[in-house]
Amino acid sequence: MNENKGKEIINNTNPTSNFKTVKDNKEIKKKLMRIMLIVVGFLVLFLVIILMMSMVGTGTKSYEEIEKELKEAAIEYYKVQSGLLPQEEGETITVKASTLAEAKLMKPLSSLRKNESCSGRVEVSKVNDNIIYTPYLDCGKNYTTKELYKAVLEQGIVTTGSGLYDMNGEKVYRGDNVNNYVSLDNQVYRIVKVTSDNKLLLILNEISSPLSSHYDDRYNPTKKYNSGFNDYQISRIYEYLNNLYNGKKDLKILSNNDKEKLSSFNLCIGKRNPSETLNNNTVECTNILENQMIGLLTVSDYMNASLDTNCKMTTDRSCQNYNYLRVRDVDWWLLTGNALNNYEAYVVKSSGYIDINTTSGYKKIRPTIMLNNNVMIKSGTGTESNPFVLK
């Protein structure tokens, strides 16, 4: 009887079921294999894409990124080679991109811009006890680092109408519709002129309400009251401007980044007669205050901005015409004192003409600064809606 039961168990085993189980196991293994292959394929593809992107990245850095690398590499280079840095004010030295690449401080330009021939350098200057690093990149027709003064000169010299004029060895903006707006970090300025050494004299465009001062308010024995003196270098306004530049006033018109772009300049502080007709600064420059970082506009510079042919004498009311420097509704100080006495200086009246005022008067301030000739343009065309923006 037990033997029959064993036979029954053997006979009840289903061979078809066993075969199906084996087949299902093989299918599962195949599916798992396919999934693994797909995953591995995606991983390989992902790695290839990353590799390609990294290869492309090293050859397609933007021009601005390369300029930044040049500057940073030069700073590192001269941390080691500090003895080579310029020692004298205004002195400039140059280090080539190839030198920085050989020092392993940056990659060669050929690897940063694939299929493009570029050269580069960094000019290192000493300006007001600061070391300024200015990168230059030249990639031919595709891109060249451009100084602001070159962008200004590209506007072209005109002989009629508003624009840039060649006057007294300088390039001077004249008229009431000129594209000379420059945006700095904290304020918008107007370019007054490009000097003979390609520096740019700027004046604050709009007068902010806190910017006000006496020219001077000291006791004057000639007038027997606090009418002040019109000697700029000992005046209250001279103190005010230097405090403003050094950040000791509430209104910060210049950032530290802005200050790195500036150059010291000589202020023409000579006095002028109201009937004087010379407008080339020869009268004002009979007395010079050297190496200043901030100042005011001279009478000659204001007169030169007018295109009116009747603007001939210091106080001619026609000087307000066709003059972009005119600011309505406020009186503001010029730098120049009245040569006929020691207690009067010139102001631009709210209607735009130049007048005489006792130095104790409280008037608005439009500071002037000088941009260095190596300041680079980032964007803009100089219009009010699209001012020059600096790097």
Is the pLDDT at 10 greater than 80, yes or no? no
Q: Do 354 and 254 sit in the same domain of this protein?
A: yes
Contacts of 159 by beta carbon, 8 Å cutoff, 6+ apart = 165
Check residue 15 and give its pLDDT: 52
Residue 13 lies in a domain: no
pLDDT for the residue 355: 98
Which is higher by pLDDT, 47 or 240? 240
Residues 6+ positions from 263 with CB-CB distance below 8 Å: 127, 128, 199, 370, 371, 372, 373
248 pLDDT band, cuts 50/70/90, is: confident
Question: What is the pLDDT averaged over residues 4-18?
Answer: 49
| For range 52-56, the mean pLDDT | 47
| Cβ atoms of residues 279 and 292 within 8 Å | no
Residue 56's H or E segment, with its range, is helix 15-59
Total structural domains within the chain? 2
* Residue 148, beta-bridge partner list: none
Helix (H) or strand (E) holding 199: none
Would you place residue 306 in the very low, low, confident or very high pLDDT band (cuts 50, 70, 90)? Answer: very high
Residues 216 and 92 in one domain: no
Report the 10 Å Cβ neighbour count for 383.
13
**Does residue 234 lie in a domain region?**
yes
Q: Would you say how long the chain is, in residues?
A: 391
- On whether the CB atoms of residues 210 and 250 are closer than 8 A, the answer is yes
Please report whether residue 303 resides in a domain: yes
Cβ atoms of 391 and 377 closer than 8 Å: yes
Instruction: Name the more confident of 33 and 364.
Output: 364
Both 138 and 271 in a single domain? no
Q: Which of 123-137, 211-225, 231-245 has the lowest mean pLDDT?
A: 123-137
Quick check: is 28 in a domain? no
pLDDT of 58 above 60: no
Smallest CA-to-CA distance from 286 within 300, 273, 271 is with: 271
112 and 239 assigned to the same domain:
no
Q: Which residues span the domain enclosing 70?
A: 63-145
What per-residue confidence (pLDDT) applies to 61?
86
Exposed/middle/buried for residue 75 (C-beta within 10 Å: 0-12, 13-18, 19+): middle
pLDDT for position 54: 46
User: Which comes out higher in pLDDT, residue 128 or 144?
Assistant: 144
Instruction: Specify whether the CB–CB gap between 174 and 304 falls below 8 A.
Output: yes
Domain boundary among 81, 111, 145: 145
Amino acid letter, residue 59: G
Residues 136 and 210 in one domain: no
With a CB cutoff of 8 Å and minimum separation 6, the contacts of 267 are 232, 288, 289, 292, 295, 296, 335
d(CA 300, CA 185): 29
- Which pLDDT tens digit goes with each residue over 322-343? 999 999 889 999 999 999 999 9
Q: Is residue 179 part of a domain?
A: no
> Which residues are registered as beta bridge partners of 390?
377
Residue 269 placed within a domain: yes
Residues 365 and 301 in one domain: yes
Q: Which of 154, 99, 140 is nearest to 121 (CA)?
A: 99
Q: What's the confidence (pLDDT) of residue 7?
A: 46
* Residue entry with tokens 């004249």: 174
Among candidate residues 69, 57, 59, 76, the one with its CA nearest the CA of residue 136: 69
Residue finishing a domain among 130, 145, 160: 145
| Other Cβ atoms closer than 10 A to 331 | 18
Please compute the mean of the pLDDT values over residues 362-387 and round it to a whole number.
95
pLDDT score recorded for residue 179: 97
Find where tokens 């006095």 sit.
Answer: 271
Question: For residue 49, is it within any domain?
Answer: no
Q: How far is CA 17 from CA 5, 9, 193, in A?
A: 21, 15, 99
Q: What pLDDT was estimated at residue 44? A: 67
Cα separation, 249 vs 97, whole angstroms? 42
For the record, the structure tokens of 132 come out as 């300024």
The dihedral built from the CA positions of residue 357, 313, 201 and 288, taken in this order, carries a sign that is negative
**Containing H/E element for 172?**
strand 170-174
- Residue 9: pLDDT band (50, 70, 90) is very low
- Rounded to the nearest 5 degrees, what angle is found at the Cα of 92, between the Cα atoms of 88 and 95? 135
Same domain assignment for residues 215 and 117: no
- Look at residue 52 and tell me whether its pLDDT is greater than 70: no
Model confidence band, residue 23 (pLDDT cutoffs 50, 70, 90): low
In a domain, 251, yes or no: yes
Determine contact, residues 359/227, Cβ cutoff 8 Å.
Answer: yes
Whether 121 and 215 share a structural domain: no
Q: Is there a single domain that holds both residue 267 and residue 349?
A: yes
Q: Which residue has the higher pLDDT, 57 or 182?
A: 182
Instruction: For the chain, give the mean pLDDT.
Output: 89
Residues 272, 357 within the same domain: yes
When computed from its CA atoms, the radius of gyration of the chain, rounded to whole angstroms, is 36
249 and 359 belong to one structural domain:
yes
Is residue 117 predicted with pLDDT exceeding 60? yes
Mark which of 102, 119, 145 sits at the end of a domain: 145
> Is residue 136 located within the same domain as residue 208?
no
Q: Is the dihedral of CA 371, 373, 375, 380 positive or negative?
A: positive
